[in-house]
Structure 1
Amino acid sequence: MSSLMDAVRAGRTAEVVSLLDGMTDAERRSCFPELRALRKELRADPWTAEARRAYPALHVAGAACQTGAAGVASWLAATDMRWWQASPGVLIDVLSDRAPGWLADVVHRLAERPLSARVPYELMAGLVRLSGCPVPTTEAYVHGWVEHIGHVWQRGDTLLARLRKDPHLARLTAALFETNDIGSRLAWTAVEGPNSWTEALAQLTVEGILDRRATVDACLARLLRGGPPADHRVFLRMLRALALSRDEEREHTADWLALASDAASVVAAHAQSVLASLALDGELSTRQLAEVSGAVLFRTEKKLVRAQLVLLGKVLTRDASAADELLPAAAQAFGHEDSDVQERALKLVERHVRKVATADVREELASAAGQLIPTLRRRAAQSLGVSPVASAPVPYEEVLPPAPEPVSLGPAPESAVELAEEVGALLMSGGDVAAFERALDGVVRHAYRNRDALVEALEPVVTRRWWDNGDAQYGFRVDDYFTRHHGLVSAADALELLLATLRGNVLTSTLHTAVRRRPGTDDCGQSALARAFEARVWEVAYRIRTEPLPFLLSTPTWDTGLLEPDELVARLDEYRRLGARVSAADFAQALLRVRRGDRAAAEAAAERAALLGTAEGARLAQWLTSVPPAVPVTRRRTSADRVLLESGEVPELQGDLPSEFQSLGRPVSVFRDRRYCNHWSDGMRQHWLALLPEQRELVAVRMLRDIATVAVDDARGAAAILPRLAESGGAAGELVHLSVAYGLGARHPEDRLAAVDALLVLAARGQLDAARLGADLGQLVRRGAVKPSRLVESARTAAATGAHATVWGILRHTLPALLADLATGETPAPARGLADLLSVAAECAERTGAREELPHLTRTADRRGSSRLVTEARRLRSALAEGVAA
């Protein structure tokens, strides 16, 4: 046994195999406890050279020295040995003397493991060969088979040739169509030729090696099931490669109907083309065509809808008797969101309405015409010879979501154990402002009450943190990590600094140096925000080490960061009673957070603060009675592709605040020397807003450059802060509105949705300046910073919530600038995008009953032709003019 363990520790795999071959089953079993103990030993530090050397030999020995199939499968697929496994050939060799049934049990257990377990396909396939069992068809096995078969470059032959020789081809091919997310792996091979999965499988059905009927059925079933885009592309390509005959297409009519109705766009288009061919050849019943048309015309893809209307027109031209069934189906497009689609559908109905044989169908068409936009509705009444169902006009009422209410912070956890649980959760998820501030205050309170009990409660949280295992694990000291090499770039870092301080992993001299440090020239616009946030954290850490604080003065009352003045006065009074020395950074942050917008409450609290008889009480009283600073003076700077704002100095923040907080009120210039910015954590922006909860413009000016990247540079994530910006306090001025404007033109849908949320919050709070936002959007579109198509999506999303008047109020100030450029031929905006924007504006004007003149609209509407741009301009003009003469 000792010789086996020595060989395993030394990583001599060949010697291990030789020793195992000479052992009986009983001797092997007796070795397993020591092998398990070695595994536990290596797991504590798996990245050392000794562990990497021993793992492959341990992998082999542990598999050979167990008798249970479940235990062996668990050992072979163990996570801790995944990176240094023994080769599949060696494992198959040491297991080859087991009974076939036992081997079959092992391989099926391995195949049931998830893909993330990374069980080698070669190992599973080798065990299948040894056992003679049916091949598994699990996700892990099929993915492994596809990857193994597809590596043509390793063998020099073709994928088609290898598939021909595979003894399990039929079973695995059938499983291929049932396996989730397999398209991405199939797509790694060639698109065409014998090395393409699609053409190879199609050729095998031609040769009779695969059952063609079963393969076609399986391919269609997979497309009907749906899945990720990669699956749609690959299996549709496979279906096309199968080149179905007309008889096969007719046999699967029900599948084509379902695919055209519900499948992904690219798949639905193919199904639609097949159905069109069948319909034009008279092999699709009128009822079937009407049913599928009703489904397709409800889809959002305009290309599919238009193609279906064209098909209906062709069928009606050939068969007049189909009008009674097909025209009501076509009329369902009257309710489509795109007015161009509505007009096409109306033209189709107008062209064939004479073929309608019954009055009931005419009444149905009249009822459907009520869904048309007003101009088309009037046209339908004249051209169809019927009047739409009349309804009493209903005054428009704007529907906005309720303005979000701030959430109060609960008290810090009373139990150190409960606090440790919250801190552990925050380190994993990051948390929001409320969770972070609760945890921060809780650490301070418990460090003051009973430091030892807090350290003991935090033991499970910190025991696996890298800084608690040694100063140089990542090549630098813990002190350097939190200062020069890394900094506090996230809220989790701030908590880690406090925990490391409690554990004694940060030198007192490092804490003292950080507290005394003064900010220099800004490296980037966000440096002032980061330094102000860090100043309080470093000072808290220093005081924990030297003179613990009883609690924090600056813990906010609300999740926005706002602190009620009465609460701050009470905390200062408790500090006075305890004789505690106030932390400068903590007090400065409290001043910046205290509510001054409610002048009556602020002045009443100031009187009580003055009676405290302390320097901090007097300072608070003076702060509360002073007038809050006005919005800083801004200057607009424009470049070729963006618009930015600069801000002037805020004198109030240049007083007796610590220098780290004075930086927040210094001028911001877009022409400063911008060095590398390491503020990459999107989650920090909410904490920066909480620094100045009644001065969001001061925060927005430092975040604007990054927010602009979501539209200009197609970045992702920076606009997530916009709803919090809208919920924050203070004036919503130029900077807030320009930030929202960039968000509405963001590249990624989640950023646009965040901007729409911010827009609705501002509107619900009565803080939205529609004229300012609309003008900003017009300028950004003209400069190419915002693409019209993205703005259209945002506007439609906002309007769909019921905010049609809000959207119209914005677009009425955006469109004139674009239409003016269009009139002079200087617009950089694509006409198609502008047409869509006019369409949204027209819908909002029609719903709200807006009546006014829009500058430059008439010139566009009077242009020759019937392009969509001109059509939508005329629609908007008609909506705005309706009733003006009355």
Structure 2
Amino acid sequence: MNPVQEVLDRIETGSVAGLVAFLQGLDDDDKRAVARGLPAHLSERRRAGFEAERRILELAPLYRVAGAACLSGAEQVASWLNRRELRWVEPKADAVQVMSVLGNRPLEWRRDLAVRLVGRLRPAPSGSTWRRVESLRAWDLAAALVIETGVEPPENDAFVSGWVLRTVERHWMNRGTRVLADDRLLDHMLPRLFQAAGVADGLNWNPGWEGHHTIIGELVDLTRTGRVPRQALLDGCVSRFLAGCDAAEAAPFVKLWRKLKPEAAEIPETDFVRVLPSAPSPLIQLALEELHRAEAAGALEVELFAEAVQALAYRPEKKNMAAAVKWIADAPPARGGAAVAALAPVLDVDTPSLRERGATIAKGRRRSV
């Protein structure tokens, strides 16, 4: 028997089950022979013209299984599975098929492969949530190996955003059923949600079904059972706010913060003041709400109040300047007097009513100090 030709013949029949059964019966020498012959065969076939390339695409699931079973090193297998002509497969079926031939590999080898596959993931293209879900061709196999081996996946935003999109899909397919409590990747993903780029679309997604559970809603629910630490979500939101983000990226974390309903004692006043100079509009609104709550509870020190007012007054948006003016106007005289210097930019604004109100308040506060 020529093992290389036998494998190629079985690939050509298009039967994954038959190929897997045959591969599992090969000894190490036969696998090494296939590993030598398979890449050369594929390269030669690619040069044979359009029809041959189209046939490779059709048979990609079988080529992937054969390479995963026979190539020796984890790096070789990762490179094989990421060949452009072999990527167009149904990802969930492919993950099952490839995993079926990896079971006899040593645990550390499979962990190595998992890390390499996660590291090679690339962000899904921009577009609708469903278009992004459909692009997750390499995520499922990488995730399956991480789960099966228990390896700590490397930092990769694409792995995190892929998990979010797959969770969105599970919510949809299960018509809103809760899915996160038993999710075996949740503990890996939770701290990374607040660091990774590309997660906002999935976190914001909501089909509008009554009783439907979004990821954010489920995370909040899980804090009540202890499955997810509430403080981890609050701290994660603050870290995301401080890292800087645009309005779309901030939106799901603003929503999460509000759903968690922090007590006044849980509000990080200093952090919310620090975000005011550069935060997008939704985050500024949240910061002001929380700082006003902290102030009402007697937790906002005069120095932080003055810093917050100054940050607002120096924002280019007139509504934020107006908010600074109103905040000083509503403050007790001594407190407002400590922040009156923050009104300097308001005195040069090209809106007469705002400029005049700022001047009046500044004059009154100086007299009261």
Which TM-score bucket, shorter chain as reference? 0.7 to 0.9
What is the aligned length? 349
Matched, 1:270 2:286: yes
Report deviation, 1:137.
4.8
Cα deviation, 1:356-414, whole Å, max 9, x if unaligned, reads 3xxxxxxxxxxxxxxxxxxxxxxxxxxxxxxxxxxxxxxxxxxxxxxxxxxxxxxxxxx
Residues 1:284 and 1:120: Cα distance change in structure 2 (over 3 Å): same
Contact 2:56 2:85 in 1 (8 A): no
| Partner in structure 1 of residue 128 of structure 2 | none
- Which residue in 1 is equivalent to 2:146? 128
Structure 2 residue aligned with 1:172? 189
Higher Rg = 1
CA distance 1:32–1:163, shift in 2 (3 Å): same
Name the CA shift for 1:193/1:245 in 2 (closer, same or farther; >3 Å): farther
Q: How far apart, in 1, do the equivalents of 2:257 and 2:81 lie?
A: 39
- Structure 1 position 53 matched with structure 2 position 72: no
CA shift, 1:101, in A, is: 0.8
Contact 1:276 1:311 in 2 (8 A): no
Secondary structure (helix, strand or coil) at the match of 2:355 reads: helix
Contact 1:198 1:238 in 2 (8 A): yes
| Partner AA of 1:153 in structure 2 | W
Query: 1:109-162: per-residue Cα shift (whole Å, max 9, x none)?
Result: 10011325855333123222332323555323222221222222323552xx31
The aligned counterpart of 1:242 is 260
Match of 2:25 among 17, 22, 30: 22
Structure 1: how far apart are the matches of 2:302 and 2:322? 19
- Whichever residue aligns with residue 155 of structure 1, its letter is N
What are the equivalent positions in structure 2 for 1:838-849 lying under 5 Å apart? none
What amino acid maps onto 1:311 in structure 2? W
| Separation in structure 1 between the aligned mates of residue 315 and residue 223 of structure 2, nearest angstrom | 35
Contact 2:322 2:354 in 1 (8 A): yes
Is contact 2:265-2:294 (8 Å) kept? no
Alpha carbons of 1:105 and 1:119: their partners in 2 closer, same or farther (altered >3 Å)?
farther
Is the alpha carbon distance of 1:264 and 1:43 closer, same or farther for their aligned partners in structure 2, counting shifts above 3 Å?
Answer: farther
Among 97, 100, 109, the alignment partner of 2:104 is: 97
* Contact 1:189/1:197 (8 A) holds in 2: no
1:276 is matched by which residue type in structure 2?
H
Between the aligned partners of 1:116 and 1:298, the Cα distance in structure 2 is 36
Q: Distance in 1 between matches of 2:276 and 2:329?
A: 18
Partner of 1:6: 9
Q: AA paired with 2:186?
A: L
Change (3 A) 1:23 1:292: same
Q: Which whole-Å CA distance do the structure 2 matches of 1:188 and 1:124 have between them?
A: 24
CA displacement at 1:255 relative to structure 2: 1.0
Say whether 1:329 aligns with 2:342: yes
CA-to-aligned-CA distance 1:728-786 (integer Å, 9 cap, x gap): xxxxxxxxxxxxxxxxxxxxxxxxxxxxxxxxxxxxxxxxxxxxxxxxxxxxxxxxxxx
The one-letter code matched in structure 2 to 1:154 is M
Deviation for aligned residue 1:240: 0.8
Which one-letter code corresponds to 2:285 in the other structure? A
Partner of 2:326: 310
Q: Is 75-84 or 280-289 further displaced after alignment?
A: 280-289
CA distance in 1, matches of 2:330, 2:30: 82
- Could you say if the C-alpha distance between residues 110 and 331 of structure 1 is closer, same or farther in structure 2, counting changes exceeding 3 Å? same
Question: Residues of 2 paired with 1:337 and 1:68: CA distance?
Answer: 68
Q: Counterpart in 2 of 1:809?
A: none
Cα pair distance change 1:228/1:46, threshold 3 Å: farther
Report whether the alignment pairs 1:87 with 2:100.
no
Q: Find out whether 1:153 has 2:172 as its counterpart.
A: yes
* Number of the residue aligned with 2:81: 76
One-letter code aligned to 1:262: S
Which residue of 1 is the match for residue 115 of structure 2?
A: 108
- Whether the 8 Å CA contact 1:135–1:168 is kept in 2: the answer is no
Distance in structure 2 (CA, Å) of the matches to 1:238 and 1:175:
15
1:345–1:216 Cα change, 3 Å = same
Aligned to 2:129: none
Q: Distance in 1 between matches of 2:105 and 2:242?
A: 44
Q: CA 1:167/1:54 → structure 2, altered by over 3 Å: closer, same or farther?
A: closer
Segments of 4+ moved more than 6 angstroms: none
RMSD over equivalenced CA pairs, Å: 2.3
- Whole-Å Cα distance in 1 between the matches of residues 26 and 18 of structure 2? 13
Q: Matched residues in 1 for 2:10 and 2:367: separation?
A: 93
What is the one-letter code of the residue matched to 2:270?
A
Aligned counterparts of 1:50 and 1:194: Cα–Cα separation in 2: 42
Corresponding residue to 1:289 among 293, 305, 310: 305
Distance in 2 (CA, whole Å) between partners of 1:335 and 1:328 is 13
Shift of residue 330 of structure 1?
A: 2.2
CA distance in 1, matches of 2:95, 2:196: 24
For residues 588-608 of structure 1, give each alpha carbon's deviation from its aligned partner in whole angstroms, at most 9, with x where no partner exists.
xxxxxxxxxxxxxxxxxxxxx
The answer on whether the counterparts of 1:333 and 1:341 sit within 8 Å (CA) in structure 2 is: yes
Q: Distance in 2 between matches of 1:216 and 1:171?
A: 17
Higher RCO (CA < 8 A, seq sep 6+): 2
Residues 157 and 254 (structure 1), Cα distance of their counterparts in 2 relative to 1, 3 Å cut: same
2:356 to 318, 338, 343: 343
Counterpart residue type for residue 293 of structure 1: V
Q: Give, as a single letter, the amino acid of the residue that structure 1 aligns with 2:189.
A: L
Pick aligned residue for 2:40 from 33, 37, 58: 37
SS of the counterpart of 2:67?
helix
Is residue 2:242 matched to residue 1:224? yes
1:652 maps to none
